[in-house]
Chains A and B, each alone.
Chain A
Amino acid sequence: MPDTTDVNDLRTIALVAGVLLLLSVVTGVGQFLKRHPDRGIDAAAVRTFNLRIRGWWVLCTVLAAAFWLGSTATVTLFGLVSFWALREFITLTPTRKGDHRALFWVFFLFTPLHYVLVGLNRYDIYSVFLPVYATLFVLARAAVAGDYKRFLERTAKIQAGLVVCVYCLSFAPALLALPVAAGVDGGRDANFRLLFFLILLVQFADCMQYVWSRVLGQRLVAAAVSSNRTWEGLLGSATSTALLASVLWWAAPPFEPWQAAIVGLVVAIMGFAGGMTMSAIKRDRGVKDYGTLVVGHGGVLDRITSAGYSRMANISGKAMPRPVRRNSISMRCWRARSTGCSTVVHAPSSAQRGSGCRK
């Protein structure tokens, strides 16, 4: 029997090879459809499809580079993505001059500091840093600026931007520090694989949602909010994502196939929730695509929200009771609590100091 490092390397190689193969195949299909416009497939749909594929190549390349450079690079990468997404979010949100100073600190202090805390793995601080301290600061700073017009509305918007663009998304690189995956087999590599596994599932769920809605879609979830998200699409995407996850269970170490399937299911539902939320915001602001404001730019926001929502779910999903592993270092006592559609994990503070129950 090969030792764990070999198995680990094999898994990484298999995952990378699988992704490369899949991307090559879809790229081939996309190019074929582009060369043969007489197949009866909508040309605009083919163009969207090809753009999406190019996006995946970029995503995979950037992620691979960040993973190769290590966890600091990955946290930094996600930090930059958050920063950019927050820019787009606030740009579309009507703020007043009274919010200017509050926004300055949100961009240049709270967002970077939050990611520094994520990088330092200070879960006890970063889990409350944005939702509590940043919120209180924004409220107070806007009040001191002396503009009371639509006060709650304005501050709530900044708060929503912080939670969606920064807080939720930061839980993705936070997975890298999760001890349940590290130390099981292959240490850090396993964490990166887990993170990639989840990103893959989010992307897949998003596609499946589109495909199933096109094929079977009958009943729209909320016609006023989104014209292409149907119950059939959600069901189909949840089922296919769960299937894919259970097939790929070997890629993410702490999961058994049935657990992976549940993760897939949750990812699909959370991705759906994130997509609906973003559609509602877009409709409210009267923009169809976040990308339209910036010419030639796809819009980061469009891509990250479903990811952000799912990530929140994942971190709690991973914290769910799981068979105790032989040589896992410390199974921390995580307690998951659901709040609305995003799920927040609360860990006892003792666990943070490393005195969690050792098995």
Chain B
Amino acid sequence: MLAPADMPAPPQDQPVSRSPVCRLTGLGLAGLARLLAGASVRWIASQPDTCQRVYFANHTSHLDALLIWASLPRVVRELTRPVAAKDYWSRGRVRRWLAEQVFDAILIDRTDIKVHQSPVDLMLREAGATRSLIVFPEGSRSVTGEVGEFKSGLYYLAKKRPDIELVPVHIDNLNRVLPRGEFLPVPLLSCISFGPPLWLERDEAKFDFLTRARRAVLSLKE
């Protein structure tokens, strides 16, 4: 297991200086997403911060990652990288450009998971010592709108980097804006709630931790 100090010095330690086109596209898309999804952003018992964090949220729509990313203040957004599925985001030139250049996303291969190249290791290596991540511990978008069981990735992430703040995020109503299997959005109002950060407790079992994390997301629903 890798301790934080053993991590190889990552090249992505500082936000890559992106071209003005990518920057503008990012700003435009963030604004458009917030406008289209009528997103109101709430910070409940927490504050936006540039410290290294992992935002974990329920997953209901393709817009989720974009909207969380757009909901963060610009300084924080520059430091934050969404974690997305490679099979979806590397298909087609536009999508790949958006994922790699605009959102600076970390693409995870869902179909080809190897032991020595686990997604968690990849995420942590890409995050380095400064960048924050947006993850969806359910693994895929929920069909019913209910929050499904969390996969264990979040636990291993917390175990390998106990110093990172884990911030629960709840996304409300976005599954109605752009449901699974649709490509035309309906401009309803949605709500993004950021909760107080949590950490892996000492000797906390995997199941207990994942239940606690899931409950933290659900509690933001009210």
Q: Which A residues have a C-beta under 8 Å from some C-beta of B? A: 83, 87-88, 90-91, 95, 97, 100-101, 103-104, 107, 293-297
Sample 15 A-B pairs with CB under 8 A, ordered by A number.
A87-B187, A88-B189, A90-B186, A91-B38, A95-B176, A100-B182, A100-B184, A101-B184, A107-B187, A293-B191, A294-B38, A294-B189, A294-B191, A295-B40, A297-B40
Q: Which of A90, A97, A293 contacts B179 (CB 8 A)?
A: A97
**A88 to B, closest residue via Cβ:** B189
- Within 8 Å CB of A103, what residues of B? 186
Residue B173, interface by CB 8 Å: yes
In the complex, the chain A residue whose C-beta lies closest to that of B181 is A97
Query: Quick one: CB contact mask for B150-192 with A, threshold 8 Å, 1 for yes?
Result: 0000000000000000000000010010010010111111010
Asked if residues B184 and A90 are in contact (CB atoms below 8 Å), the reply is no
Known interface pairs A295-B191, A297-B40; 16 further A-B residue pairs with C-beta atoms within 8 A, sorted by A's residue number: A87-B187, A87-B188, A90-B188, A91-B173, A91-B188, A100-B176, A100-B179, A100-B182, A100-B184, A100-B186, A101-B182, A104-B186, A107-B186, A293-B189, A294-B191, A295-B42
On whether the beta carbons of B184 and A104 are closer than 8 Å, the reply is yes
A101: which B residues are within 8 A, CB to CB?
182, 184
Closest A-B pairs by Cβ, 10 of them = A103-B186, A91-B189, A91-B188, A104-B184, A294-B40, A295-B40, A104-B186, A97-B179, A100-B182, A295-B42
B residues at A contact (CB < 8 Å): 38, 40, 42, 173, 176, 179, 182, 184-189, 191
Residues of B within 8 Å of A104, CB to CB, are 184-186
A95 contacts which chain B residues (CB < 8 A)?
176
Indicate the member of A90, A91, A103 with the most B CB atoms within 10 Å.
A91
| Alpha-carbon distance between A95 and B186 when the two chains are bound, in angstroms | 12
The verdict on A296 contacting B186 (CB below 8 Å), with A95-B176, A100-B179 known, is no
CA distance A177 to B173 in the complex (A): 39
A88 to B190, CA, bound (A): 10
CB neighbours of A293 from chain B (8 A): 189, 191
When distances are taken between beta carbons in the complex, the residues of chain A under 8 Å from B42 are: 295
List, in ascending order, chain A residues with CB within 8 A of B184's CB. 100-101, 104
Across the two chains, which residue of chain B brings its CB closest to A83? B187
Question: From residue B136, how far is it (CB to closest CB) to chain A in Å?
Answer: 20
Closest Cβ of chain B to A158, distance in Å, is 11
A295 CA / B39 CA spacing, docked (Å) = 10
The complex places the Cα of A100 from the Cα of B176 at a distance, in Å, of: 8
Query: In the complex, how many angstroms separate the beta carbon of B46 from the nearest chain A beta carbon?
Result: 15
Measured CA separation A319–B188 after assembly (Å) = 36
State in angstroms the CA–CA spacing of A104 and B185 once bound together.
Answer: 7
A131 CB to closest chain B CB, in angstroms? 21
Closest residue of A by beta carbon distance from B38: A87
B-side contacts of A107, CB under 8 Å: 186-187
Indicate if the CB atoms of A87 and B182 lie closer than 8 Å: no
B178 CB to nearest A CB, Å:
9
B-side contacts of A90, CB under 8 Å? 186, 188
CB proximity of A298 to chain B, nearest CB, Å = 12
Smallest CB separation, A219 vs chain B (Å): 36
Q: Contact: A87 with B176, CB < 8 Å?
A: no
Q: How far is the CA of A203 from the CA of B186 in the complex (A)?
A: 32
Contacts of A100 in B (CB 8 A): 176, 179, 182, 184, 186
Contact A296 B176 (CB under 8 A): no
In the bound assembly, the distance between CA atoms of A91 and B179 in angstroms comes to: 14
CA distance A294 to B176 in the complex (A): 16
A88, B173: Cα distance in complex, Å: 12
Q: Which of A88, A101, A103 has the most C-beta atoms of chain B within 10 angstroms of its own C-beta? A: A103
Measured CB to CB, the closest approach of chain B to A311, in angstroms, equals: 24
Given A295-B40, A296-B40, A87:B189 Cβ within 8 A: yes
- How far is A58 from B187 in the complex, measured between Cα atoms in Å? 24
